[in-house]
Amino acid sequence: MGSFNLVETADLAAIIAERCRLTGSFVLRSGRTATHYFDKYQFEADPVLLDAVGAGLARLVPAGTEVLAGLEMGGIAVVVALGRHAGLPCAFVRKAAKPYGTGRLAEGADLTGRRVLLVEDVVTSGGQIALSAAALRSAGAIVSDAVCVIDRQEGGTEALAAEGITLHPLFRF
């Protein structure tokens, strides 16, 4: 694939929609069935497109953020691209602490006592962000915000607000 300049947010949205939006019948992580699906791995696997996503998300990082925390699995590639543009350290958050090695829920930058921005690729219900935020808060992280590439606008923003988390989407479906 050749290099291209993705300066305008509208251009980026159009490219992501063209490459990633599928139609059909899909079961989402939330258990809901959808007629539209975003194959996020199409932008996460393309280094040029992922870099443009990271640059777009960097404009959404709230002031005072100290660490970016990408959620397993899709948020991992996104957090690295974002960290490059935001100049902030990254952590990688598992869905559950691993039962071997360090036994940590989060690897990378230390989150204890720091303002942490959760990073996700696509949000539907906000369930994984809420679960991860609760676990990280229990471990001493300060979590009040999350960013995502695509908000499917199916209740995630409202559910996260009820958990004290403001969602900042790059794009809304």
Q: Is 120 annotated as a binding residue?
A: yes
Based on the number of CB atoms within 10 Å of its own CB, is 142 exposed (0-12), middle (13-18) or buried (19 or more)? middle
Question: According to the annotation, is 123 in a ligand binding site?
Answer: yes
Cis link prior to 73 (omega < 30° from 0)?
A: yes
29 is in an annotated binding site: yes
Q: Is 126 annotated as ligand-binding?
A: yes
Is 40 annotated to bind a ligand? Reply is: no
Does 172 appear as a known binding residue? no
95 is in an annotated binding site: yes
- Please name the residues in contact with 90: beta carbons below 8 A apart, sequence gap of 6 or more: 67, 68, 69, 70, 79, 80, 82, 83, 108, 109
Going by the annotation, the residues of the binding site for orotate are 124, 152
Going by the annotation, the residues of the binding site are 29, 94-95, 98, 120-128, 152
Going by the annotation, the residues of the binding site for 5-phospho-alpha-D-ribose 1-diphosphate are 29, 94-95, 98, 120-128
